Amino acid sequence: MSDYGHELRFGSFLTPSVHDPDQVVALAELTEAAGLDLVTFQDHPYNAEFLDTWTLLSWVAARTERLRISGNVLSLPLRPPAVLARAAASLDRLSHGRFELGLGAGAFWDGIEGMGARRLTAGQGVAALREAIDVLRGVWDDTATGPLRLDGEYYPVPGMQRGPKPAHDIDIWLGAYQPKMLALTGQKANGWLPTLEYLRSPDRVTANRLIDEAAVAAGREPREIRRLLNLFTVDVSSRSRGFLQGPVEQWVDQLLPLVLEEGFSTFLIGRDDPRLIQTLGQEIAPALREAVAKERNGGEVGTGPVRTTVALAERHPGLDYEALPPSLAARSVEPGDQEYERVRHTYSWHGSPALVIRPQNAAEVVDAVSYARTQDVPLSVRSGGHGISGRSTNDGGVVIDMSRMNKVEVLDRATRRVRLEPGARWGDVAQTLAPYGLAMSSGDYGDVGVGGLATTAGVGYLARRHGLTIDHVVAAEIVTADGRLLRVDDEHHPELFWAVRGAGGNFGVITALELEAYEVDKVVYAQLVADATDTAGLLRRWGQLVEDAPRELTSFLSLFPGRRGNPPAAQVTLVYAGDDVEAAQSALSPFMEIGPILDQQAQLVPYPAIVAPPGNQHRGQGLRDTRSGLLHHVTPQAADLMENMIQSGDVMIMQLRSVGGAVNDVARDATAYPHREQNFSVLAATVPDRRPQLDKLWAELYPYLDGLYLSFESDTNPARLLDAWPEPTLGRLRAIKASYDPDNVFNRNFPIPPAEPLG
Ligand SMILES: Cc1cc2nc3c(=O)[nH]c(=O)nc-3n(C[C@H](O)[C@H](O)[C@H](O)COP(=O)(O)OP(=O)(O)OC[C@H]3O[C@@H](n4cnc5c(N)ncnc54)[C@H](O)[C@@H]3O)c2cc1C
Model confidence pLDDT, tens digit, residues 642-685: 999 999 999 999 999 999 999 999 999 999 999 999 999 999 99
Question: Regarding the domain delimited by 309-401, which CATH topology (the fold level of the hierarchy) does it fall under?
Answer: 3.30.43
Output the CA 751–ligand 1 centroid distance in Å: 15
3-state secondary structure 517-567: CEECCEEEEEEEEEECCCHHHHHHHHHHHHHHCCCCEEEEEEEECCCCCCC
> Does residue 2 surpass a pLDDT of 90?
no
Q: Hey, which of 344, 350, 625, 711 would you mutate to test ligand 1's pocket, going by the most ligand atoms within 8 Å of its Cβ?
A: 711
Please tell me the predicted confidence (pLDDT) of residue 303.
55
Please tell me the predicted confidence (pLDDT) of residue 614.
58
Please tell me the predicted confidence (pLDDT) of residue 331.
82
Output the CA 391–ligand 1 centroid distance in Å: 10
Report the nearest-CA residue for atom 46 of ligand 1: 505
Please tell me the predicted confidence (pLDDT) of residue 300.
47
Q: Report which secondary-structure segment, H or E, holds 512.
A: strand 509-516
Model confidence pLDDT, tens digit, residues 486-539: 999 999 999 999 999 999 899 999 999 999 999 998 999 999 999 999 999 999
Ligand 1: nearest atom to the Cα of 402: 41
> Does residue 612 surpass a pLDDT of 80?
no
* Mean per-residue pLDDT, 383-409: 94
Ligand 1: nearest atom to the Cα of 556: 8
Domain spanning 522-721, CATH architecture: 3-Layer(aba) Sandwich (3.40)
Q: Is 662 helix (H, G, I), strand (E, B) or coil?
A: helix
Check if the beta carbon of residue 420 is closer than 8 Å to that of residue 448: no
Output the CA 285–ligand 1 centroid distance in Å: 43
Output the CA 444–ligand 1 centroid distance in Å: 12
State the Cα–Cα distance between residues 119 and 128, nearest whole angstrom: 11
Output the CA 455–ligand 1 centroid distance in Å: 8
Output the CA 482–ligand 1 centroid distance in Å: 24
Ligand 1: nearest atom to the Cα of 347: 53
Output the CA 489–ligand 1 centroid distance in Å: 22
Output the CA 441–ligand 1 centroid distance in Å: 14
Q: Are strands 473-479 and 485-488 parallel, antiparallel or unpaired?
A: antiparallel
For the chain, how many residues are written? 759
Report the nearest-CA residue for atom 16 of ligand 1: 453
Q: Which of 740, 743, 755 shows the shortest CA–CA distance to 504?
A: 740
Ligand 1: nearest atom to the Cα of 389: 19
Output the CA 205–ligand 1 centroid distance in Å: 54
Model confidence pLDDT, tens digit, residues 39-84: 999 999 999 999 999 999 999 999 998 999 999 999 999 999 999 9
Report the nearest-CA residue for atom 53 of ligand 1: 386
Please tell me the predicted confidence (pLDDT) of residue 83.
98
Domain edges within the chain: 9-298, 309-401, 522-721
Instruction: Tell me which amino acid residue 129 is.
Output: L
Q: Hey, which of 344, 358, 392 would you mutate to test ligand 1's pocket, going by the most ligand atoms within 8 Å of its Cβ?
A: 392
Pocket of ligand 1 (CB under 6 A): 346-348, 380-388, 390-392, 402, 422, 443-445, 448-449, 451-453, 455, 457-460, 504-505, 509-510, 622, 711, 748-749
Cα dihedral sign, 242-244-250-255: positive
Ligand 1: nearest atom to the Cα of 448: 26
Ligand 1: nearest atom to the Cα of 425: 26
Model confidence pLDDT, tens digit, residues 3-25: 898 999 999 999 999 999 999 99
> Does residue 369 surpass a pLDDT of 80?
yes
- Strands in 643-738 per DSSP E: 653-658, 680-686
Q: What is the pTM of this model?
A: 0.73
First to last CA, the chain: 66
Same fold for the pair 309-401 and 522-721: no
Output the CA 705–ligand 1 centroid distance in Å: 23
Domain spanning 9-298, CATH architecture: Alpha-Beta Barrel (3.20)
On average, the pLDDT of the chain sits at 94
Ligand 1: nearest atom to the Cα of 390: 49
Output the CA 126–ligand 1 centroid distance in Å: 50
Q: How much helix, strand and coil, in percent to the nearest 5, is found in the chain? A: 40, 20, 40
* Mean per-residue pLDDT, 459-484: 98
> Does residue 299 surpass a pLDDT of 80?
no
